[in-house]
């Protein structure tokens, strides 16, 4: 069996600048935040992403499919269902997949107007979390 990664990932840091603030118009240099997901396995990965906030109950799940042997750089900016991600608001995310994947968190911030980048491999959770019934 092919297994590379984990089924649970957490990203405590999340923040989308107010509006699409950017000195760089639209496109690749617009401020954005992404969960880069690698599914190196031979089965499609069905992800459920839940967002956590400072002052209200979690929102989700947001459904994302990453096909077998593919990567998908999921932009939180693009989320619409069940609701868009609020701007200028601290949030965090938990990603649950039905097959192992690898997740890296990246933000490109172009408010300045110069570009700033951050990135880190997300935190891989143990499968005991799945016993929760998610």
Residue ranges in contact with its own copies by CB under 8 A:
1-5, 8, 10-15, 17-18, 28-29, 34, 36-40, 52-55, 57-58, 69-73, 88, 90-92, 94, 102-126, 128-129, 131-132
Nearer to its own copies, 70 or 84 (CB): 70
Nearest CA among 32, 37, 35, 29 for reference residue 11? 35
| Residues in Cβ contact with 26 at an 8 Å cutoff, skipping those fewer than 6 apart | 20
Nearer to its own copies, 68 or 98 (CB): 68
- Shortest distance in whole angstroms from residue 18 CB to its own copies: 8
- Shortest distance in whole angstroms from residue 130 CB to its own copies: 10
- Shortest distance in whole angstroms from residue 33 CB to its own copies: 11
Q: Are 33 and 76 in contact (CB under 8 A)?
A: yes
Each residue of 68-84: b (16+ CB within 10 Å) or e? eeeebebbbbebeeeee
Nearer to its own copies, 63 or 70 (CB): 70
């Amino acid at each position: 069996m092919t297994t590379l990664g984990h089924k649970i990932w957490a990203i405590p840091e999340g923040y989308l600048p107010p509006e699409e603030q950017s000195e760089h118009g639209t496109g690749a240099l617009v401020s954005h935040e992404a969960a880069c997901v690698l599914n190196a396995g031979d089965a499609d990965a069905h992800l459920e992403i839940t967002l956590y906030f400072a002052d209200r109950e979690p929102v989700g799940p947001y459904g994302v499919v990453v096909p077998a042997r593919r990567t998908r750089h999921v932009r939180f900016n693009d989320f619409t269902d069940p609701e868009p991600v609020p701007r200028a608001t601290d949030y965090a995310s938990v990603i649950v997949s039905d097959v192992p994947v690898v997740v890296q968190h990246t933000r490109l911030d172009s408010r300045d107007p110069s570009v700033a980048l951050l990135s880190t491999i997300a935190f891989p959770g143990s499968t005991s979390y799945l016993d929760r019934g998610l």
